[in-house]
Amino acid sequence: MKRDLVSIDDLSSGEIAALFRTVDEMAARPREWTHLAQGAILASLFYEPSTRTRLSFEAAMHRLGGGVISAADMRSSSAAKGETLADTVRVVGGAYADILALRHPAEGAARVAARYASVPVVNAGDGSHEHPTQTICDLYSLYAEKGRLEGLDVVLSGDLKYSRTVHSLAYALARLRANVVLIPHRGFEMPEYVLRRLRERYGNEPQRLEADDFRSIAGRADAVYFTPQRPHQLSLFTEANRVAVAKLDALYVTRPQQERFTEGEAAPPVRIDREALSGARFKDTFVMHPLPRVNEISYDLDQDPRSLYFKQAARGVPVRMALLAFLLGRLDLGAEAPAPEPTAEAVRGRLGMACPNPTCITNLESHYLEPEYVVVSRSPLTASCTFCEVAVAPVLVGCASTRVFHRHNSGDVRRIKAEHLVLFASEEQARGSGFAAAGRP
């Protein structure tokens, strides 16, 4: 069976550990692996602009001795003629290439591609959702510097809403038992669906601070703060002192993902610099960033030994070499694959509500993709989108067999068979689909 890398959870912890050992070897002798992908072809399908990620995949494939076919600007080629993602990957990810690296602006796009392609699909970033290969670079960099991941204190800061890299990273850190501290920009908090997955899958409840708190982590004598770029922004940083952190192993900074902002959203002009990290608690704090940075990290940190971002990026090639070789079936990691997830109740079909996330792939390519949900709870009924994972809270729940609908928190909902569940966003939608209110018997 083919292996895809859509979510970081598609790799078991054992596989991640084994990958690290392979990356060590590949980084040490980068030119000795040209036998591994001999005769294989990687297709880069990039629906969003990228240089670093695409070039690192392609450099990795070259180092493995494979061939590369590259579509750097899919938006203006077949997609411009109206071709669906499914059609594209069925052809390119079947007959043309032996493995696909896909970047796409819609959440869930990589999951769709993995279903339709007959070859392994690597998610090189799907909207605000996940970016698992970056996470392996991040984890490997931390591991290489700190010698372990378990028990590390890692701050994820900035745009936690739209930054896909911190989503995948949070899952992995939680699973590998690091401590995750969140310091989002105001209005850019970690999405609920990420927090729920952290809680439900890994029992992890990350510490959450406001950006204001960061200044006070180290106390008065040892002031630590984000440097605002304009003086009048100082008011962002108050003296609140609600959380104490003894020391930090890593501070992960993110670029405000302005290309995904909705109207009215604006990132605060905050920048990390040497002064911000002058406190004792930051003595051994690695500053990480997935790059490209804009202004979040001052250039004065580039020469600081705690800056890890260029090393992270440099490791992109050996990490992706190991991943490509593994997914192509040319590298045996000797570790068990992840256990299959317990089968959850699924809701499928054209009837009922669309995914509430407007940039979910099911909304952007709705002419062939049906909404598909996983039931999280029966009372009240809540679910999440199979593709983009956002929470789905129907107002009404119907039974496709009786054509009757109930309120989402009605006890009757529990009696509907899973295969008959239909979720509605409104009574109007339910009645428009030919469903009637549950009557009294």
**Part in contact with its own copies (CB under 8 A); list of ranges 15-23, 88-96, 153-161, 395-403:** 88-96
Which of 24, 25, 91, 375 binds its own copies (CB under 8 A)? It is 91
Applying CB under 8 A, the site for its own copies has a residue count of 57
CB nearer to its own copies: give 92 or 272: 92
| Contact call for residue 80 and its own copies (CB under 8 A) | yes
Q: Report in angstroms how near the CB of residue 83 gets to its own copies at its nearest.
A: 3
Strands (E), 173-269: 179-184, 207-208, 227-228, 250-253
- The residue behind tokens 């694959």 is 337
Residue from 254, 304, 309 nearest 282 by CA: 304
Q: Per the structure block, which two tokens stand in for 321?
A: 């070499």
Q: Per the structure block, which two tokens stand in for 137?
A: 């670079």
**Part in contact with its own copies (CB under 8 A); list of ranges 89-97, 186-194, 196-204, 233-241:** 89-97
Helices (H), 240-344: 309-314, 316-327
Residues 6+ apart with CB under 8 A from 327: 3, 4, 5, 99, 120, 122
**Part in contact with its own copies (CB under 8 A); list of ranges 64-72, 164-172, 220-228, 394-402:** 64-72
| Contact call for residue 428 and its own copies (CB under 8 A) | no
**Part in contact with its own copies (CB under 8 A); list of ranges 16-24, 193-201, 310-318, 389-397:** 310-318
Which of 69, 234, 337, 418 binds its own copies (CB under 8 A)? It is 69
Residues 6+ apart with CB under 8 A from 59: 317
| Contact call for residue 310 and its own copies (CB under 8 A) | yes
Residues 6+ apart with CB under 8 A from 90: 116, 117, 118
CB nearer to its own copies: give 89 or 224: 89
Kindly state the DSSP code that residue 137 receives in the 8-state scheme.
H
Q: Per the structure block, which two tokens stand in for 92?
A: 């390119």
Contacts to its own copies by CB under 8 A: 31, 34, 39, 41, 43, 45, 49-52, 54-56, 58-59, 62-63, 67-74, 76-78, 80-83, 87-88, 90-92, 94-97, 255, 259, 291-295, 299, 310, 313-317, 367-368
